[in-house]
């Protein structure tokens, strides 16, 4: 009769999700004091660890499972020699454990935890149990989270035992869990937060940015897909595809209304919002149709048949979307090399961005747009019209995703022309105008990701017929730019927030 050992601070799912099914399958159950009480109250037969070992809990419960009868039962292999050793101490093999640790991370995360309270929440016995069971995954199943209970119970019910593949995966999870736990303790005692990443190779790419460079895609989970999504169609994604898709997806998903973003070489060349994706797509394409050839497309709604048909003969490398309708999949299936990536429901923004540099790594929080409480200030004699305000708000958000120096010309909820990635901001104004077509610019608005150090960008914008400008402000020469805007009857709005993107 197999034996399970439970010692959990989080009792979620323990009774009906694990203990009761195991009891019904004929398992015997051992448990530490508090866990045993919960099981008894639920009417599940259980033997306390102290009764099993003949050694009472001591030091207020800090020592209860640290006993040869427990750890011998976990570490014993299925050999005559190990069985003989267990018999000497009247112990048996333990086949499964469910253990979670004292809530150290939750305790110190409150910010007001004393050193005494933090130290009291450093688990010793639980970590030892997990490591012993995980080391012997050839025989022992180790559970660290209630999320894994259903799969294990299902396997035990259908097969009588868990597979080696399952036990190995659970052992990996246990070692990862204890490593993160130890890292949290180390950081707390050291007074600093170290950067500790676990990345797993997802796919070896054909090459990197160029054919002479090797490259591999890594994920935060062993089973992760590109960008956390799933490739539905097309050739394997390349290094450059993944970078472009990431930039496009971040741009499209930052808008609330149905939005299409087209990216080429990490630079948005067209962004538009409308009532439908089919309405937004031609507006985004018109912003720079030449650059759109061979680019990638991201949308923030399910990619439907209407927008799929609207692509026509345009060559697109990849499309990323929250999903694809059956009609869209049927249309796009004719483009066999086109990669389609379906993204899962958003799990929230990344906690930080990392970039490797010579000798180290830069870490920063992501730019998620203007912070709460940001107030816009009209600094010119003329105020923007209601229509211009709509255009300015759209241009300002689109500008945040363009490489600095970033300039966006827009009308309504569509970019007309985008200029970015140049060391001179005035050059970006001229690029945006050229992309838009100078005849299309009069009456449009302009957004700049950072302030104007001189009024020359305002003068250039005025020459093209820009009607309103949005920018952070903050230059020592702001007044010169304001005066230039007033001379040309341009409305200008300061945001007070810069959005560099290098």
Please write down the long-range contacts of 250-257, taking CB distance under 8 Å and 24 or more positions apart: 250/401, 251/298, 251/398, 251/401, 252/298, 252/299, 252/300, 253/298, 253/300, 253/346, 254/368, 254/369, 254/397, 254/400, 254/401, 255/300, 255/397, 257/413
Active site residue 135: yes
Backbone torsions φ then ψ of 222, nearest 5 degrees: -60, -25
- The Cα 50–Cα 89 span in angstroms is 15
Q: What does DSSP say about strands 445-448 and 468-471: parallel, antiparallel, or unpaired?
A: parallel
* Bridge partners for 263 per DSSP: 268, 296
Q: Is 250 a catalytic residue?
A: no
- Please state the three-class secondary structure of 128-157 as a single string: HHHHHHHHCCCCCEEECCHHHHHHHHHHHH
Alpha-carbon gap, residue 36 to 26, rounded angstroms: 18
For residue 334, what are the contacts with CB-CB under 8 A and spacing of at least 6? none
Question: Which one of 11, 47, 135, 488 is the catalytic residue?
Answer: 135
Catalytic residue among 47, 203, 235, 265: 265
Order the strands of the 96-99 sheet from edge to edge: 47-48, 28-31, 3-7, 96-99, 141-143
* Nearest Cα residue to 9 out of 135, 105, 92, 139: 105
Q: Which amino acids are annotated catalytic?
A: 135, 265
């Amino acid at each position: 009769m197999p034996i399970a050992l439970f010692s959990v601070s989080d009792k979620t799912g323990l009774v009906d999700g694990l203990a009761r099914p195991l009891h019904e399958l004929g398992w015997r159950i051992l448990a530490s004091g508090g866990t045993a009480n919960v099981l008894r109250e639920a009417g599940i037969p259980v033997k306390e660890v102290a009764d099993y070992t003949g050694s009472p809990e001591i030091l207020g419960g800090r020592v209860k499972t640290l006993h040869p009868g427990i750890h011998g039962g976990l570490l014993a292999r299925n050999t005559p020699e190990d069985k003989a050793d267990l018999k000497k101490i009247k112990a048996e093999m333990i086949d499964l454990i469910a253990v979670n640790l004292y809530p150290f991370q939750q305790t110190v995360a409150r910010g007001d935890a004393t050193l005494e309270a933090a130290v009291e929440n450093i688990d010793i016995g639980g970590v030892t149990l997990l490591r012993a069971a995980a080391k012997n995954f050839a025989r022992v199943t180790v559970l660290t989270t209630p999320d894994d209970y259903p799969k294990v119970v299902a396997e035990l019910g259908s097969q009588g035992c868990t597979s080696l593949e399952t036990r190995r995966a659970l052992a990996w999870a246990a070692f990862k869990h204890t490593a993160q736990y130890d890292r949290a303790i180390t950081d707390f005692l050291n007074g600093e937060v170290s950067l500790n990443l676990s990345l797993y190779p997802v796919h070896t790419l054909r090459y990197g940015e160029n054919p002479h460079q090797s490259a591999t895609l890594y994920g935060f989970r062993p089973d992760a897909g590109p960008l956390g999504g799933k490739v539905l169609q097309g050739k394997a994604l390349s290094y450059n595809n993944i970078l472009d898709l990431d930039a496009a997806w971040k741009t499209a998903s930052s808008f609330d209304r149905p939005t299409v973003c087209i990216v080429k070489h990490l630079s948005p060349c067209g962004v538009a919002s409308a009532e439908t994706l089919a309405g937004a797509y031609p507006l985004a394409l018109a912003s720079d149709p030449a650059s759109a050839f061979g680019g990638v497309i991201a949308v923030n709604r399910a990619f439907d048949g209407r927008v799929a048909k609207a692509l026509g003969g345009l060559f697109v490398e990849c499309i990323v979307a929250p999903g694809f309708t059956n009609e869209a999949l049927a249309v796009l299936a004719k483009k066999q090399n086109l990669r389609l990536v379906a993204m899962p429901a958003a799990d929230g923004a990344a906690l930080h961005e990392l970039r490797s540099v010579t000798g180290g790594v830069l870490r920063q929080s992501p730019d998620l747009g203007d912070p709460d409480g940001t107030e816009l200030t009209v600094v010119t004699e003329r105020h923007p019209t209601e229509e211009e305000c709509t255009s300015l708000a759209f241009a300002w958000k689109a500008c945040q995703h363009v490489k600095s120096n970033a300039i966006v010309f827009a009308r309504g909820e569509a970019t007309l022309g985008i200029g970015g990635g140049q060391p001179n901001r005035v050059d970006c104004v001229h690029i945006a105008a050229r992309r838009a077509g100078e005849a299309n610019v009069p009456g449009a608005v302009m957004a700049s990701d950072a302030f104007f150090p001189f009024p020359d960008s305002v003068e250039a914008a005025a020459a093209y017929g820009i009607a309103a400008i949005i920018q952070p402000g903050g230059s020592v020469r702001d007044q010169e730019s304001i005066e230039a805007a007033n001379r040309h009857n341009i409305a200008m709005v300061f945001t007070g927030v810069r959005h560099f993107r290098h």
